[in-house]
Amino acid sequence: MPLTRWSHAGGIAITLSALCCGSAVGQAVLPHDSACIAPLAYYPLDALEVGGDDHGVPVLGTYERISPDGRFILRSYSGARVGKVSLMELPESTGQVKIFRTPLANEAFPVQGTWRYLVDVNGEHYRLNAILLQQASARPLFKGGMTGFYAAASELTSSIDASATPKALASARQIILIRSLSWPQNADPDTQGVGPLQLATIAVEDDGQSARVVRRSGPTFICGGRTPVDGNVYALPMLSVDGTEFSAIPQVPRSGRPSMRVYGLAPQGDADAHPCDLRADLGLSPSKAVSGFARGGQAAWLAYSDLGYVYVHDRERQQTFRMDHGRHRVLASAFPGLTRDGRVIYGATWRECADAACPEQAGYVVADPYQSEAWRAYWRSRGEPMPKACITQAEVAAERADFARLHNLPR
């Protein structure tokens, strides 16, 4: 039975339980939406809805992927109560987390950048709003791209080569390019030296109702040329949200030690070769590094967790900022994400009090990196004003509206 029913026509979401409410820490109480968002907000899950462990702690799941507007979290290994993969919807302000079942399995992943589609590990693509409406009964639109564990996909913003577009497609219908990245698939062991990872690109014609793959390229081995420097085994690969970079940790580097690095890819969807140029090196081996959205011509920030804390890395300033904790014994999961407006969202466990007997909670944390102590201390130390003091409620509302419009969702 679905845990949340979403009546699309009426734009009403009804949940079966209203036992838990999100709570914000230090939120400015101002009447207009130019006010800052809360520096930190905690949204606990309800064990009655998601299932609990032996101690009654809500099951958190294992992997979290964050939608560009921060409204949804795609959660893998969700536990027996809510299925293998579920979608969590965070409340707009306060309220409870809403839960949607999905037909997806394993490490299902979104097409980053837009979340236009959610992808099962077998390559089947589902429209987000179909899953929200039909939940586990949703049907895939098409199949394509890389499959299997550690696959990731992003929507490219570059156009495809017009001369390579079939005449039949020279219409007003939207052509969407999706690049996906994963380990080499069905590759003969003898070809492992060709390249450590593979890319595939599909062109999808989507009229808003139906969608079909009209062109495929790849899988193509990439970054074989980096073997003399980085070896040919990369762990924790993750594609950037615009598909033009990926992060990974080389496991057998020829010099130095394994560290999270960012490499460049060709922006063109039909590129046969990729530069794989080194663009950043965090110098440590944290969890998977997830990219944010590039803004103002600057390189996208990265978010990652390390020993229970979440960090953002500003590549332009080559500075890393630790996100604050507003609860006791907070332990972040391995998959934080950045929204388009810059919020950091992650799964975590925490306690409301310092007492050892205080019950553990599990849920999601929304942090504003611009209100973190680390960000403020950095600018204080430089004696300069902060270029940005917070993310505003207006910015968040605008992202939510844009995302709802793209996906035909109720606000």
Partner 1 sequence: MADAARQAGFDVVAYRDARVLPAEWQAAVGSRGLVELRDVPVLDADVAAACGMLNHTPAAIVARCGRAHPWPILGVMPVATWRQVLQARSDALGVSCR
* Of 65-73, 188-196, 202-210, 403-411: span binding partner 1 (CB under 8 A): 188-196
CB-based contact 364:89 (threshold 8 Å): no
Cβ distance to partner 1 smaller for residue 287 or 393: 287
Residues 52-81 close enough to bind partner 1 by CB under 8 A:
53-55
Q: Which of 216, 257, 295, 411 binds partner 1 (CB under 8 A)?
A: 257
What the block records as the tokens of 262 is 């960012």
189 scored as a contact of partner 1 (CB under 8 A): yes
CA atoms of 105 and 409, how far apart (whole Å): 24
195 scored as a contact of partner 1 (CB under 8 A): no
CB-based contact 404:386 (threshold 8 Å): no
292 scored as a contact of partner 1 (CB under 8 A): no
Cβ distance to partner 1 smaller for residue 287 or 339: 287
Cβ distance to partner 1 smaller for residue 106 or 268: 106
Instruction: Name the minimum Å distance from CB 95 to partner 1.
Output: 29
326 scored as a contact of partner 1 (CB under 8 A): no
CA 150 to chain centre: 13
Q: Which of 67, 134, 244, 287 binds partner 1 (CB under 8 A)?
A: 287
CA atoms of 238 and 246, how far apart (whole Å): 5
From the CA atom positions of the chain, what is the Rg in Å?
21
Q: What's the CA angle centered on 76, arms 408 and 211, to 5 degrees?
A: 35
386 scored as a contact of partner 1 (CB under 8 A): no
x/- string (CB under 8 A) for partner 1, residues 127-166? ----------------------xx----------------
Q: 88-115 burial string, b = 16+ CB within 10 Å, else e? A: bbbeeeeebbbbbbbbbebbbbbbbbbb
CA atoms of 71 and 6, how far apart (whole Å): 15
Which residues here bind partner 1, judged by CB under 8 A?
53-55, 149-150, 183-184, 187, 189, 192, 196, 231-233, 235-236, 249, 251-252, 257-258, 285-288, 305-308, 334
